[in-house]
Chains A and B, each alone.
Chain A
């Protein structure tokens, strides 16, 4: 049995058939997972200024760039193991650099709220065994985490839900479009306008308090009745919901307070994004957007916290997110580990990448690796190297090494980079 690093579900029931040190066939993994486990078609080669070199020279050059930089930034880590993430944080500390991951433009806010224990949350095994009302809010689990519905939430029979989806469970989808998840929810799909989540939450809070909601009263009252009857409900909050109410997370906290049997779970895409958030939270008290300055740690948005026990000062500011750092052109070197900002960020923002030296650590050729000053190939974590990762519900899962590889792991590379510094 192997663990799939395809998405944050980290399915650990995958069978693989290995032939000549290559994965020939995967069983039980979804299409996304199978593609990830079979490796990349276009393997990254070590290079400096797009000219091939050996890994050692590439590491030395990367160390040189980072040493000279006045305001370096480390970004990515959502597709790295926890061990590599810890090394990344140590490297940022050593450099006095900004460190951020994809969660600053993804589910970071929601995960931070969960770490602050403002919401009740639960494990996916509890969902399988107990949940009777499942709300997919702004999330298309069927496409983003393909095995979510079949492995944990809607279809399986659980200890207290022996009749599974046929009788014991109700799935509700709230989304701006009829996604594939909404197609499965059939009679319980509530279409909302883009950015209409706030209005919907307020109307639902009214309905749960016994008032007639101002917005689509018939549908909202029907939904409120379903939610009230729930014995164990879960709201799977997707990026659609988080983006829509990011300025006002408190209204979701208020809704969760009204629903005493409900739990909230962030739908995470990258396989170890939550791991990075946990590791950084442990170290600094923040989940992303952190700047280490000498002995001080700054975090965005501008919030200064004293942690005398560690002898450091923490500052919290939006300008340390990758989006703001690129927009303000405030960084002069960037190390990207296991991420592809060029393909995931808007064109207007990534323009700055062309004018600064970028170091790319990745197993495969990406759009970012094509414009970088230094490329350093690493092993595919979860396939060519083992480690630990954190599932979307916070459970630690061991990743297994399936095939042998000559490539160093990202943890090893970051350690060597630190030594070179």
Chain B
């Protein structure tokens, strides 16, 4: 996963404040959090920074398809083991007689489902990383040995 420092190194680092952020580091943080776009940094669009801009686009490409919580599921890495389905605390709370005990989900309130051998996320608003009172939950990433789920 890309880091703030990696993004910062590619920015003009002039702290020009044109974008509205106080520093280029603050802009990098906003960029990573998908609150800002590369195009908000006008000096970057000028000729001198063409290569940096292209590199930034490549770095930020994986997060383009992310859910509102920043979740990305890589279907090519998923083995469909269902560890995330059973480990997710929201699935456990919403489906105590299904997903919580390792069985197939019995209702549609769960976040993770395995379809055609690959995991799919739905009900993303239920995720603990969603909304105002979000928490930095890692329950679905930790049990995935292949790294098929990540948050950006």
Give residues in A with beta carbon < 8 Å to B: 13-15, 25-35, 128, 142-143, 146-147, 149-152, 155-158, 164-165, 180-181, 183-184
B2 contacts partner chain A, Cβ-Cβ < 8 Å: no
Contacting residue for B102 out of A30, A34, A128, A181, CB 8 A: A128
- Give, as a whole number of angstroms, the nearest-CB distance from A114 to chain B: 24
Contacting residue for B114 out of A29, A152, A156, A158, CB 8 A: A29
Contacting pair A30 B146 (CB below 8 A) = no
By a CB distance below 8 angstroms, the chain B residues around A33 are 80, 117
- Give, as a whole number of angstroms, the nearest-CB distance from B107 to chain A: 13
Given contacts A27-B113, A32-B117, A157-B92, is CB(A150)–CB(B101) below 8 Å?
Answer: no
- Given A30-B81, A31-B118, A157-B100, 8 extra CB contacts under 8 A: A26-B116, A30-B79, A149-B81, A151-B86, A155-B143, A156-B86, A184-B143, A184-B145
Q: 1/0 per residue B30-55: CB within 8 Å of A?
A: 00000000000000000000000000
Contacting pair A155 B79 (CB below 8 A) = no
Query: Which residue of chain B has its CB nearest to the CB of A25?
Result: B116
Contacting pair B82 A15 (CB below 8 A) = no
Contacting pair B145 A180 (CB below 8 A) = yes
19 sampled A-B residue pairs with Cβ under 8 A: A26-B115, A26-B117, A27-B113, A28-B114, A29-B117, A30-B80, A30-B82, A30-B117, A32-B80, A33-B80, A34-B80, A149-B81, A149-B143, A150-B83, A150-B102, A155-B102, A180-B145, A180-B146, A181-B145
Which B86-116 residues have a C-beta within 8 angstroms of A?
Answer: 86-87, 92, 96, 100-105, 113-116
Contacting pair B145 A183 (CB below 8 A) = yes
Q: How far, in angstroms, from A164 to B139 measured CA to CA in the complex? A: 13
Tell me if B's interface is mostly helix, strand, loop or mixed: loop
Given contacts A15-B104, A142-B145, A180-B146, is CB(A151)–CB(B116) below 8 Å?
Answer: no
Contacting pair A14 B104 (CB below 8 A) = yes
By a CB distance below 8 angstroms, the chain A residues around B86 are 150-151, 155-156, 164
B78 contacts partner chain A, Cβ-Cβ < 8 Å: yes
Contacting pair B117 A147 (CB below 8 A) = no
B85 contacts partner chain A, Cβ-Cβ < 8 Å: yes
By a CB distance below 8 angstroms, the chain A residues around B80 are 29-34, 146
Query: Which residue of chain B has its CB nearest to the CB of A124?
Result: B102
Q: How far, in angstroms, from A181 to B105 measured CA to CA in the complex? A: 23
Query: Which residue of chain B has its CB nearest to the CB of A165?
Result: B87
Q: How far, in angstroms, from A248 to B30 measured CA to CA in the complex? A: 62
Contacting pair B117 A34 (CB below 8 A) = yes
Q: How far, in angstroms, from A146 to B144 measured CA to CA in the complex? A: 11
Q: How far, in angstroms, from A155 to B82 measured CA to CA in the complex? A: 10
Q: How far, in angstroms, from A156 to B104 measured CA to CA in the complex? A: 11
Given contacts A156-B86, A165-B87, A180-B145, is CB(A30)–CB(B103) below 8 Å?
Answer: no
Contacting pair A147 B104 (CB below 8 A) = no
Q: How far, in angstroms, from A27 to B114 measured CA to CA in the complex? A: 6
Q: How far, in angstroms, from A30 to B83 measured CA to CA in the complex? A: 11
By a CB distance below 8 angstroms, the chain A residues around B143 are 149-150, 155, 165, 184
- Give, as a whole number of angstroms, the nearest-CB distance from B149 to chain A: 14
Contacting pair B115 A25 (CB below 8 A) = yes
Query: Which residue of chain B has its CB nearest to the CB of A181?
Result: B145
- Give, as a whole number of angstroms, the nearest-CB distance from A1 to chain B: 8
Query: Which residue of chain A has its CB nearest to the CB of B87?
Result: A155
Q: How far, in angstroms, from A147 to B113 measured CA to CA in the complex? A: 13
Contacting pair A156 B101 (CB below 8 A) = yes
Given contacts A146-B81, A155-B143, is CB(A34)–CB(B116) below 8 Å?
Answer: yes
Contacting pair B104 A150 (CB below 8 A) = no
